Structures are given as C-alpha cells and as structure tokens.
Amino acid sequence: MPTKPRSAAKGPEQEHRFELGGYYLERTHPEHLGHWYACRYDSGTRQVRRRSLKTTDFEEAKVRLAALVASAPSSANRIGPPGPDQVLSVAALKTYLDERGSHIASEDAAERAVELFADYLASISKIDAPVAFWTPARQLELAKWCVEKHQHSAGYIERLFNVMRSAFNDACVTKIRLDAVGNEVETALMSHAPKIVWKREAIATELKIPARRPRPATLSVEQMAAVLDSLKTTHLFRFAIMSLCTWARPQAIIDFDPATQVDWNGGVIDLAPVGWVPTKKRRPRQPLTGCLAGWLPVWSKEDEARRAAALAENRTPPELGLIVYKGRRVATVKRAFRRIGTELGLMGFSQYSLRHFMADQIKKLFRNVPREQRSLWMGHVVRDGSRTTANYESDDPEMLADVALATDCVIALIQQHCGRPLFAVDVLLTKKDLQAIGARVIPEMLRKQRVGGGHDRDRTCDPYHVKVVLSR
C-alpha cells in the first residue's frame, strides 16, 4: 500500500489543513526554524515532495503557496496546457521574470513593467485577472492609466507592452519548468497568448499625446569639457574616456577587460569580451585611438599598485576590472551621470549622452567620414548591399582608421576647454591628416603648423604611441 502523506504538526491553525490545487501546507520541523513547506504526494515515487516557503507565518504561507500553484505548471496536466482564460496574468508575468529576467539586458525595465501591470490591476480590483483579460480595449485602458497616473510617454508604454508580449509568448513555449515543489516538468504554462496590438504611433494617436518626446540637445564641446572636469572619482573618469574613445554602449564599457580585449600588436580593441554571447546589440572591433592607447597602460599600472598595496597591508585586494569603485566592480553608472547632469543643469543628460555627443560631433565636423563607418564604429548593422556579401568579407578594423583619427581630434578640441588632462601621452595629430578626412575645425595646437603637416604618418598603432610618425 502506498504511504500516505504525513500530517502536519498539530496547532490551532492546523485543525483544517490548508490545501490548494493538489498541494498542502505542512510545518515539518516546528522545533527547528519552523518554516512552512509546500507539499504534494507523488503517487509514482510514493514520496511526499516538499519545498520550503521560507516563512513561519501561517497566513503568509497561504499566500506564497497560492502564488506558487498559480505560476507553476502541473505535472498532472497530460492533455495539454490550459488556455489564457485559466492562467493568472500576474503568475505568467512573475514566471517570466523568474526564468528570463536575469538573461535580458533590460531586467530593471522588465521588473518595473510587471510592477506597473500589478498596480493597474489592483487599482481596478482585478488582481486575479487571467491572461485573456488583456483584450485590445483593456490594453488601451492600461495605456490611459499610465498617462494619467505616471505621465508616461507613448514610447515608454510601447516598451511596457513589449514586456507583456514577451512574457505571454514565453509562457506558451514548451520547455523544462519547475512545479510548485521543485519537480521538473516539460510543458508550457498556457496554450496560446492574446495579441498585444498597440504600438507607439497608435497609442499617441488614440490618446492624443506626442509619439516621441523632443530629444535633448546634444552637448557642445564646452559642456562636455565641464562634465569631464566635474568627475571626481577615478571610475567615472575612466568610463567617460572609454565612452568618448569607443562610443560604446555602457554595458560594453562595464564589461571591458584590457587583458583579453586589446590586441597591442595589431592596435585593435574588441568590445566583445571572451565568452560573450552575441545579442542584437553588436560589439564591434575598432582600431585603438591614441587617447585610449595612452590611458590603458597608465590605468593598468595604477591598478597593479593598488593591489600590491592592499596585499602588503593584509587587506582584501580590489576586484579585477577597469571600472572599479571602492574595491568592487561597478554594475552601472546610470545614477551617477544623471546626478552630474542635474548639478550642471544639463537636461536629459545620461550615460548615453557621451555616445550621442561623439556621433554628433564626428558627423558635423568631418565631412569625409561616411555614415557607414560611423555606424560600424557604433556597432550598428549597415544595410547597404547584400547581406550575403558580409559572409565573404572580413571584419577589418583598419577601415575605421579615419573614425579613430576624428575621435582623437574631437577629444583634442574638448581639451582646449578642459582643466584636466585628457591624454596620458602626446598623440600626434597633423593638419594634413585632419584635412584629408574633411575636418571643419582644427585644434589650436595645430593651427600654426605649416601647410605640409610634417612627415606622412602610418596609422598602424603600436603599444604606447598609436599615431607614430614613420619617415618615408
């Protein structure tokens, strides 16, 4: 005869055992911590499966068991997953965050979206609404609530709906999932998902709001100099120099490891770290700019000195990495740069502003640096020509040498208004080379240079002086 599940410890709350969806609550070890467990009897193995709910409060344990049962697949479901009218919205959204949240770049944005969905359902007393609740009309009501309650833009609301669409579509995928007591089950949470129909333009038209907010004006050279002078910590200055030299996205800079991503012999930097899993956001290979080639050895020596000093004093050495603050690698600089922008009175300034600034300056100041090269430098996909051709052509960073030269020139222009040094070593810029790439502005240090511009130069980088002059 199969062994019956063991009854929970007797207590006033256990006169009637709490059961839900084939699961029940049990406090297996009341003398030790006293946590409640979600339990289910498995007739196949003749064992009771248990999963700690990590709470000693009986009422809270009921709530957590209900959440587990609602969001977890059922191993007893053999006829197919339930329809969207049988799956709670909050359960599908929570499961998406638990399973996929850490694998998406915009995890914070996804968490905020789910929080807003729950707030909206609570405001209309529909927290138990199923997935089928989200008809096009209900989606529009959510958009109206977001505008009235939080003054969200049409673009932001579109991103909220993108999270909802991804969560519901993921719930329809058949894969290995964990049920409420931790057993692996190969199933989908629901059979099909409702269609999320609203896009930015349609939302703006229906709600009579702008489709896009006006983009803040790109910073001037003088404003960028003021930003760099205001950076008081080493990690923020390093981030700024990396951003100005590479125009890279913030996460690529945070992940950067000079030991594995810099090829000194070829004078090339690879913004994709070793083992990086490619996404839609490309991380290009670029020639090293003179500015960055000068700073990287200096920063390496500074880090080695700090680690040696910490070991000599029997202190924990700082973590390895380029962007480190108080001995630990930095996860984000978003708030720091927003605070700096507020202090300087720069509306809309963020960590992305440095990337926007460089792209805008190169476009305005250098007539002969084409859009294709700027796009490749930023990691954008260039659509010109056949995609098949890209399978045959090599990824040659040297074709972007003009962008590297223009980048050094813009930083030299910033230096004219900046009180701190932006170059660790002297970088050779000649008027002739800048004129060759269509420079509209020449740095002051080159204005007295004779028209010939000195020797011709080879743009191949070396370990310490990228812009080396080679006599011919």
Q: What range does the domain containing 62 cover?
A: 12-71
Q: What is the predicted pLDDT for the residue at 384? A: 64
Choosing from 172, 207, 242, the residue where a domain stops is 207
Same domain assignment for residues 29 and 99: no
Compare 458 and 139 and report the one with higher pLDDT.
139
Compare 352 and 47 and report the one with higher pLDDT.
352
Confirm whether 348 is domain-assigned. yes
Confirm whether 335 is domain-assigned. yes
Q: What is the predicted pLDDT for the residue at 160? A: 94
Confirm whether 428 is domain-assigned. yes
Q: What is the mean pLDDT of residues 317-324?
A: 91
pLDDT in tens, 227-257: 999 999 999 999 999 999 999 999 999 999 9
Confirm whether 23 is domain-assigned. yes
Same domain assignment for residues 367 and 226: yes
Task: Please state, rounded to an integer, the average pLDDT across all residues of the chain.
Answer: 83
Confirm whether 174 is domain-assigned. yes
Confirm whether 255 is domain-assigned. yes
Same domain assignment for residues 67 and 96: no
Same domain assignment for residues 28 and 176: no
pLDDT in tens, 86-126: 888 888 888 888 877 667 767 788 889 999 999 999 899 98
* pLDDT above 70 for 75: no
pLDDT in tens, 248-285: 999 999 999 999 999 999 999 999 988 887 777 889 99
Same domain assignment for residues 325 and 195: no
Same domain assignment for residues 400 and 271: yes
Percent of residues, the chain, with pLDDT higher than 70: 83
* pLDDT above 60 for 470: no
Choosing from 207, 233, 265, the residue where a domain stops is 207
Q: What is the predicted pLDDT for the residue at 386? A: 64
Same domain assignment for residues 108 and 41: no
HEC string for the chain: CCCCCCCCCCCHHHCCCCEECCEEEECCCCCCCCCCEEEEEECCCCEEEEEECCCCCHHHHHHHHHHHHHHCCCCCCCCCCCCCCCCEHHHHHHHHHHHHHHHCCCHHHHHHHHHHHHHHHHHCCCCCCEHHHCCHHHHHHHHHHHHHHHCCCHHHHHHHHHHHHHHHHHHCCCEEEECCCCCEEEECCCCCCCCCCCCHHHHHHHHCCCCCCCCCCCCCHHHHHHHHHHCCCHHHHHHHHHHHHHCCCHHHHHCCCHHHHEECCCCEEECCCCCCCCCCCCCCEEECCHHHHHHHHHHHHHHHHHHHHHHHCCCCCCCCCCCEECCEECCCCHHHHHHHHHHHCCCCCCCCHHHHHHHHHHHHHECCCCHHHHHHHHCCCCCCCCCHHHHCCCCCHHHHHHHHHHHHHHHHHHHCCCCCCCCCCCCCCCHHHHHHCCECCCCHHHCCCCCCCCCCCCCCCCCCCCCCCCCC
Predicted confidence band of residue 41 (pLDDT cuts 50, 70, 90): confident
Same domain assignment for residues 191 and 326: no
CATH (domain of 235): 1.10.443.10
* pLDDT above 80 for 14: no
Domain count, the chain: 3
Choosing from 44, 71, 98, the residue where a domain stops is 71
* pLDDT above 90 for 407: yes
Confirm whether 470 is domain-assigned. no
Q: What is the mean pLDDT of residues 334-359?
A: 93
Same domain assignment for residues 21 and 163: no
Q: What is the mean pLDDT of residues 78-90?
A: 79
Confirm whether 347 is domain-assigned. yes
Q: What is the predicted pLDDT for the residue at 202? A: 94
Same domain assignment for residues 239 and 314: yes
Same domain assignment for residues 370 and 418: yes
